[in-house]
């Protein structure tokens, strides 16, 4: 029906959400063609359906429950479609659905409510399995499904489908498992860490402590040289007090500056360095403090490692417990979804069987009605054909009678003209004989006339008249109709007598044709005899004149 190409369905499947394409029939045929496409979703697609056509739409939408893309096939049969084509809708829809594979939901639409966007989205939600969400009120019962209206179609003889085979071959909606958003934290393997740590060669920290023997203080004191400690001498030098009066007298009478002090502070001598024995004793005390500090740091580090291992073990146990709980929830949810899917499939199967049974009954009734209607139409067509044939026969007979009548009239007219011609010839012979008996003088009674009104011949035995021309050889057959011929001899026949005016100077019975001048031209010459000719003068008078 569509040829060897999907004509846009692949673009819909591989395209974005809300992309659609609509198909319709070529005018006068059953081949599908693309009527339009777009990416505006159901609102834009709804405007493309025509009430007087059968159309098929292929649209990609999003499931509100699972957030997954769903392909919907819509078969549209408008109310204005002729009854003869409605019967083909079901069989054509089956062929289209087999050709446009990969859809998740099929909708048979016959009215505006069937292509309403809210109704289609509701069908997608119902076909997507579980309709749970965080804010769903569990106390409210689910809404009742709307009753499915019976399919109104003009039945065409088809085989009753095998319900079991259709269910077995029907495409199944694949339920994608709900993936957890939880991502477990990768816990390092302590055994691996320990093994790697053990493999690393740790260089021990060498202590700077060198054990020394504790010296005997008393022995050191006895063997130490007896250094004489001399008293520290003072550097103070007493200042002699001068005689003030003497100074005043001897001092110049100038600016007196303040007396500066000559006192110098006493600097104690620097202590001597400690002996080697005392220095060794003090260093031994410092080395003992370093070992104690190192030991405390090592114990503190080991304690921190134990606490870290215990904390990691607790977290690992907690994560394993959470994972078991999550797997249990997912398993219960999967079983519940599978149970709901089985119940939904059973309901759909029962609904499909009821629809098929109702459809079969409607198709049988429709078939009987169509057969009766076809019989009536066939009878009526036969009656119309007989009447049409009878009418054609009568018209043929009338046409044949008319043809025979005209043929008879034409034959009679030919006979009459032939008779008139013979009569004219006979009259001419008689005139020649009389002329010969009377010594060559012919008595002529021919009449000429000038046309004063034009006339168009309406019969075959009539002649047309041209205003101003000369008609010669006129015979007065009747008071209203005369017989004559044109001056050039190209026309002859009957004409109305009141359309012409006789020309004065009609030739006398025994008159000859006379001319006024030598240059006159005589026309219409006929050789009546060897010595006498007949002709027409310039003024229209017909008569005889000597041939010499």
Give DSSP secondary structure letters for 415-426: HHHHHHHHHHHH
pLDDT of 500: 92
Tokens of 183: 């991502």
CB atoms within 10 A of CB 119: 16
Tokens of 279: 């220095």
List per-residue pLDDT tens for the chain, 548 residues long: 454 344 578 888 888 898 999 999 887 777 888 999 999 899 999 999 998 899 999 999 998 888 889 999 999 998 888 888 888 888 888 888 888 888 899 999 988 889 899 999 999 888 765 444 434 444 455 555 555 555 555 555 656 666 777 777 766 656 666 566 556 666 556 677 667 655 655 555 555 555 656 556 667 667 655 555 555 555 555 556 556 666 666 655 544 455 455 555 555 555 555 455 555 555 555 556 777 888 888 888 898 999 999 999 999 998 998 998 988 888 888 888 988 989 999 999 999 999 999 999 999 999 999 999 999 999 999 999 999 999 999 999 999 999 999 888 888 888 888 887 787 777 777 766 765 565 444 444 568 899 999 999 888 888 999 988 999 888 887 778 888 888 888 888 899 999 999 886 444 433 466 665 666 778 878 776 666 777 887 777 777 777 66
pLDDT of 454: 92
CB atoms within 10 A of CB 367: 15
Helix (H) or strand (E) holding 76: strand 69-77
Give the burial class of 70: count Cβ atoms within 10 A of its Cβ; 0-12 exposed, 13-18 middle, 19 or more buried: buried
540: left (phi over 0), alpha (psi -120 to 50) or beta: left
C-alpha distances (whole Å) from 301 to each of 290, 312, 335 are: 17, 16, 51
Tokens of 119: 């109704």
- How many Å apart are CA 12 and CA 102, to the nearest integer? 11
> CB of 495 within 8 A of CB of 504?
no
Closest to 17 (Cα-Cα) out of 65, 73, 67, 76: 67
Tokens of 520: 């006159």
For 27, which DSSP code?
T
pLDDT of 77: 92
> CB of 69 within 8 A of CB of 57?
no
pLDDT of 509: 38
> CB of 163 within 8 A of CB of 352?
yes
- Integer-rounded Cα radius of gyration of the chain: 71
C-alpha distances (whole Å) from 537 to each of 73, 84, 423, 435 are: 102, 86, 25, 21
Q: Which residues of 254-277 are buried (b: 16+ CB within 10 A; e: fewer)?
A: eeeeeeeeeeeeeeeeeeeeeeeb
pLDDT of 419: 82
Helix (H) or strand (E) holding 23: strand 20-25
For 231, which DSSP code?
P
Please report where in the chains the tokens 């011609």 appear, as a residue: 421
> CB of 3 within 8 A of CB of 24?
no
Q: Positive or negative CA dihedral for 371, 377, 380, 384?
A: negative
Tokens of 242: 């001068």
pLDDT of 542: 75
C-alpha distances (whole Å) from 149 to each of 81, 155, 351, 385 are: 18, 17, 12, 42
Q: Is 108 helix (H, G, I), strand (E, B) or coil?
A: strand
Tokens of 530: 């060897």
> CB of 484 within 8 A of CB of 502?
no
Q: List Cβ neighbours of 290 (8 Å cut-off, separation of 6 or more).
A: 207, 208, 209
Tokens of 99: 């050709």
Give DSSP secondary structure letters for 486-537: ETTSS-EEEEEGGGEEEPSSPPPTT-B---SSTT---EEEEE-SSSEEEEE-
Closest to 12 (Cα-Cα) out of 26, 22, 24, 25: 22
Q: How many residues does the chain have?
A: 548
Q: List Cβ neighbours of 155 (8 Å cut-off, separation of 6 or more).
A: 87, 362, 363, 364, 366, 367, 370
Tokens of 196: 């790697």
pLDDT of 75: 93
Q: List Cβ neighbours of 330 (8 Å cut-off, separation of 6 or more).
A: 177, 178, 180
Q: Positive or negative CA dihedral for 137, 138, 140, 142?
A: positive
Closest to 73 (Cα-Cα) out of 87, 85, 51, 55: 55
For 35, which DSSP code?
E
Please report where in the chains the tokens 């159901």 appear, as a residue: 42
């Amino acid at each position: 029906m569509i040829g060897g190409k999907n004509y846009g369905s692949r673009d819909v499947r591989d395209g974005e959400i809300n992309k659609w394409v609509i198909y319709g029939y070529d005018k006068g045929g059953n081949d599908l063609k693309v009527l339009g496409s777009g990416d505006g979703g159901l609102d834009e697609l709804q405007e493309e359906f025509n009430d007087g056509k059968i159309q098929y739409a292929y649209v990609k939408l999003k499931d509100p429950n699972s957030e997954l893309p769903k392909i919907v096939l819509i078969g549209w049969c408008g109310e204005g479609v002729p009854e003869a084509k409605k019967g083909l809708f079901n069989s054509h829809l089956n062929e289209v659905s087999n050709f446009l594979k990969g859809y998740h939901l099929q909708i048979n639409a016959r009215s505006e409510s069937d292509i309403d966007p809210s109704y289609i989205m509701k069908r997608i939600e119902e076909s997507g399995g579980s309709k749970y969400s965080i804010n769903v009120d569990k106390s409210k019962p689910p809404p009742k499904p709307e009753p499915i209206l019976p399919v109104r179609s003009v039945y065409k003889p088809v085989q009753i489908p095998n319900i079991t085979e259709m269910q077995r071959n029907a495409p199944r909606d694949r339920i994608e498992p709900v993936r957890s958003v939880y991502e477990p934290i990768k816990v390092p393997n302590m055994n691996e860490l320990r093994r790697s740590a053990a493999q690393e060669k740790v260089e021990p920290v060498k202590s700077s402590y060198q054990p020394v023997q504790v010296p005997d203080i008393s022995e050191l004191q006895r063997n130490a040289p007896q250094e004489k400690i001399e008293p520290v001498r003072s550097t103070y030098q007493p200042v002699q007090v001068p005689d003030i009066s003497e100074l005043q007298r001897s001092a110049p009478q100038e600016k007196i500056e303040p007396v500066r002090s000559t006192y110098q502070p006493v600097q104690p001598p620097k202590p001597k360095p400690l002996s080697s024995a005392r220095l060794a004793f003090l260093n031994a005390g410092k080395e003992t403090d370093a070992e104690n500090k190192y030991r405390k740091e090592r114990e503190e580090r080991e304690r921190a490692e134990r606490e870290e291992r215990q904390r990691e073990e607790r977290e690992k146990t907690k994560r394993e417990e959470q994972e078991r709980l999550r797997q249990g929830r997912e398993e219960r949810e999967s079983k519940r979804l599978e149970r709901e899917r089985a119940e939904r499939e059973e309901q759909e199967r029962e609904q499909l069987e009821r629809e098929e049974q109702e459809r079969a009954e409607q198709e049988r009734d429709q078939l009987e009605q169509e057969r009766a209607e076809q019989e009536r139409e066939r009878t009526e067509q036969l009656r119309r054909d007989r009447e049409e044939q009878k009418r054609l026969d009568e018209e043929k007979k009338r046409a044949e009678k008319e043809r025979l009548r005209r043929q008879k009239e034409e034959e009679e007219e030919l006979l009459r003209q032939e008779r008139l011609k013979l009569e004219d010839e006979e009259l001419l012979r008689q005139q020649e004989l009389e002329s010969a008996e009377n010594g060559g003088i012919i008595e002529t009674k021919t009449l000429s006339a000038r046309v004063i009104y034009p006339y168009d011949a309406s019969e075959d035995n009539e002649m047309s008249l041209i205003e101003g021309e000369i008609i010669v050889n006129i015979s007065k057959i009747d008071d209203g109709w005369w017989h004559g011929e044109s001056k050039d001899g190209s026309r002859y026949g009957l004409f109305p007598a009141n359309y012409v005016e006789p020309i004065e100077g009609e030739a006398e019975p025994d008159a000859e044709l006379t001319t006024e001048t030598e240059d006159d031209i005589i026309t219409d010459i006929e050789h009546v005899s060897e010595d006498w000719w007949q002709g027409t003068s310039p003024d229209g008078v017909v008569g005889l004149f000597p041939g010499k």
